Structure 1
């Protein structure tokens, strides 16, 4: 996997409608601020993100479904780590949920790198990113764990009866010291027992 420079662009309404009618190959999933579609673009494929209101804020997911989505999110991020990459940009915009199957997908690997590399963040107000990578430190599985903990906290906020286990995990995962954050396999095991 190599990071490629991409260009963002805005489609006029009539061009977007034509693209949606003729070029959509597959819906990849629904995220917090939109849905992602795989489309035919020129000689290849591209991902098109369509914005909408935040899915969690308007969700009708039960607490049980939110717990299962939390587990699936952790498993999906662990799969990225198992392939030898750190995502470095885990936030609600980059997590998609297929509402029909419950499959969780991660998108936007533009800041992904191998463990130990510096992603190049400077001081920022991104509360979802680990302090060590915002300070210019190397990317590690623990830095992604911090971001997943932030996402779990957002999921927790949407529960009717918040899970104590999920709350405890979210806090532990967002420890300012990466050595105190639990590893994803341990998080997965704890969520699986809920």
Structure 2
């Protein structure tokens, strides 16, 4: 999927071998499954393993291996931020580019939030992680009715996913970034609000958001 994210879908025999000899530590656990840090070749990777009865792949058991890109989430960056306003605008741009790369590969993430974005502060690289709820455009992400502020209203309660539903979530995160600025950017704030429009058709495409962020970068 995006950048060096979800690269390998494991079949049962591969998964059994990895669980037997490759697990280093448990990184976390959620509703759909758990994430394990595993040895993969000469480096580390993240194994996303679905709970019993949950399927986010065409294989059984459901498992995905993705590159391990670190532990420094966007949430942690903003919580401990020493970035300048200019650097935060640059971070916003790189976030939009990273999500656009997911869409270019034909997927909707459906769970974009600050803990599912990893930032390498040394290089500025932004990586999208945790594709357990990802699907193709037009498919149902499987959400029930809830009031999750970072998710588009149309997918909460069973609507189909689209690039616009991910745009809503990106707008939510751009608002979080704007809140951490010493002098919040009015342009970034307007863009974040527009991306969170109630109607999907009123939200700008990520390509348009990238263009706007480039202009104030």
TM-score (norm 1): 0.77
Question: SS where residue 40 of structure 1 aligns?
Answer: strand
Instruction: Count residues in correspondence.
Output: 165
Secondary structure of the structure 1 residue equivalent to 2:127: strand
- For 2:36 and 2:132, how far apart are their aligned partners in 1? 17
CA contact (8 A) 1:3 1:111 kept: no
1:58 to partner: Cα distance:
1.5
CA distance in 2, matches of 1:39, 1:99: 23
- CA change 1:157–1:65 in 2 (3 A) is same
Aligned partners of 2:86 and 2:78: how far apart in 1?
14
1:76 aligns with 2:98: yes
Residue 158 (structure 1) aligns with: 180
List alignment gaps of at least 5 residues for structure 1.
5-18, 21-35
- CA offset at residue 39 of structure 1? 4.1
Deviation for aligned residue 1:144: 0.1
- The alignment yields a C-alpha RMSD, in angstroms, of 2.8
Q: Unpaired runs of 5+ in structure 2?
A: 2-7, 11-23, 26-34, 47-67
1:13-162 to structure 2, matched below 5 A, reads: 19=24, 39-40=38-39, 46-47=45-46, 54-162=76-184
The TM-score normalised by the length of structure 2 is 0.69
Deviations 1:5-24 (A, max 9, x none): xxxxxxxxxxxxxx58xxxx
Q: Distance in 1 between matches of 2:72 and 2:104?
A: 30
